Amino acid sequence: MSGFLRSGSSNWRRAATLVLAAGWAHPGPGAPPLPPLPAEGFRLLLLQRSSRQGFLPGAHVFPGGVVDAADCSDEWLRLFAPHHGPPRFGLSPAPPSRTAFPVLPAAEDRTGLPDDVAFRICAIRETFEEAGVLLLRPRAPPAAGPEPGRALSPPAGLDAWRARVRRDPRHFLRLCAHLDCTPDIWALHDWGAWLTPFSRRGGRRFDTAFFLCCLRDPPPVYPDLDEVVGSQWLHQSAFPPHLPFMLNDSQPLVIYPVYLLVLRWSSPLEATESFISKEIWLAPPQFYEIRRLENFASLSDLHKFCLDHVLEGVERWMPITLLTADGYISLLPGDELYLEDSNFLENHLSTEKKTEEIMKEGKTFHRIVIHSRHVYSIHVTVQSKYKHVYPKTYVISKSHL
């Protein structure tokens, strides 16, 4: 069958996610006290979604969200001018076009902004809304150097601006104009793309671009606490010390927002350990990306990799779920069981065999084995495409099974 997806066959929504990696040697002004330097030399910003959310409730995720019409508005053209404009707005040359399974219906082109710019604006806006981190730069030609950059200091009236942007994303452009800045789209590097796998009829599905941004130091992070819907008991150590409320060990009552509950800076290894110990929960794509980032020994190595691979393009992955007798396997392109068949965009694969039997029968793997909610294994024997980095095979200890 064809790999083309019928228009309207799923409620696909375009989205953008930002993997924010920060060096951990020198805290910036107003940043929380830093724990010891992790082995990787950098940490990632993870935000926890509210348990009341319909999509990935309670999960720790990278900042991001759905692309809004305001992110694509041609009003941005005036803000980027005179230094930048179509077709690339000062970004590196476009990587070669590569057809990937599945081919989604083309989005309507209503603006002079290409997706490369609009998706970056979305990722930067969502990071401001969710974490109060402003990835902006003065309206001048960017000096794309070999070193990671820094986030902009929060503006006066941060909470008021963020409330406006949450109500109407068009206010993000007005904030940028007020600060005489543009979104720092040049600091965001193409990293990957994920399509939400089929889970049930009518479920939410996203076509999400993943970007990576390296910062020299961890910026101050201000979780959005405007939209209060309830409370939850949490331990004080889960929170950075600069949050605007008091906690005590005997009665740590915390008010949390609709979208985000707590934040944490974690190295790839720390995030993996927290997941296995059930301290946090990660969806399979986030777990895969965190394991992928563990390939890098330092922030400078990660940043150099992004700069060196700017012309390679990214891979877009549509996982296909194989239900086994005792679990399920998320199959990724290149795996011997992966089928580029549009039938499995709206259905599961299934087998009566157990997961262990399936694993013993195969040799060519690119898959995430989900044993239980907090027990994943990653098996990779395929070669990466376009000079990218895949995670190393990661098999969970049998004591956790």
Residues with pLDDT less than 50, the chain? 1-10, 226-261
E runs forming strands in 296-387:
316-317, 320-323, 328-331, 349-350, 366-372, 375-380
Give this prediction's pTM. Answer: 0.86
pLDDT one-digit tens code per residue, 11-21: 689 999 999 99
Cα 218 off chain centre by: 17
pLDDT of residue 96: 78
CB atoms within 10 A of CB 74: 11
Whether 125 maps to a domain, the answer reads yes
Is beta strand 320-323 parallel, antiparallel or unpaired with respect to 349-350?
A: parallel
Whether 141 maps to a domain, the answer reads yes
Whether 162 maps to a domain, the answer reads yes
| C-alpha span between 378 and 259 (Å, rounded) | 29
Whether 101 maps to a domain, the answer reads yes
| C-alpha span between 102 and 41 (Å, rounded) | 37
Final residue of a structural domain among 259, 291, 317: 317
Whole-angstrom CA distances from 262 to 51, 61, 154, 233, 243 are 12, 11, 19, 12, 10
Domain with 233 in it? 14-317
Q: What are phi and psi of 133, to 5 degrees?
A: -90, 125
Whether 4 maps to a domain, the answer reads no
Are 345 and 296 found together in one domain? Answer: no
Decide: 66 and 15 in contact? Cβ < 8 Å: yes
| C-alpha span between 17 and 209 (Å, rounded) | 6
pLDDT of residue 154: 84
Final residue of a structural domain among 278, 295, 317: 317
Whether 2 maps to a domain, the answer reads no
| C-alpha span between 368 and 55 (Å, rounded) | 20
Are 361 and 253 found together in one domain? Answer: no
Decide: 111 and 197 in contact? Cβ < 8 Å: no
Task: Say if residue 13 is exposed, middle or buried (CB neighbours under 10 Å; 0-12, 13-18, 19+).
Answer: middle
pLDDT of residue 264: 83
Whether 275 maps to a domain, the answer reads yes
| C-alpha span between 190 and 86 (Å, rounded) | 19
pLDDT one-digit tens code per residue, 149-172: 888 888 888 889 999 999 999 999
Are 348 and 239 found together in one domain? Answer: no
Whether 272 maps to a domain, the answer reads yes
pLDDT of residue 268: 95
Are 304 and 323 found together in one domain? Answer: no
Are 292 and 381 found together in one domain? Answer: no
Contacts of 397 (CB under 8 A, 6+ apart): none
Whole-angstrom CA distances from 223 to 45, 220, 286, 394 are 11, 10, 20, 32
- Give the count of domains, the chain: 2
Are 231 and 328 found together in one domain? Answer: no
Are 377 and 347 found together in one domain? Answer: yes
Are 263 and 348 found together in one domain? Answer: no
CA within 13 Å, CB half, 79? 26
Q: What are phi and psi of 153, to 5 degrees?
A: -60, 140
Are 87 and 172 found together in one domain? Answer: yes
Final residue of a structural domain among 253, 286, 317: 317
pLDDT of residue 228: 29
Are 287 and 367 found together in one domain? Answer: no
Are 295 and 371 found together in one domain? Answer: no
Are 243 and 116 found together in one domain? Answer: yes
pLDDT of residue 128: 96
| C-alpha span between 173 and 78 (Å, rounded) | 10
Q: Which helix (H) or strand (E) holds 256?
A: strand 253-257
Query: For residue 210, what is the domain's CATH number?
Result: 3.90.79.10
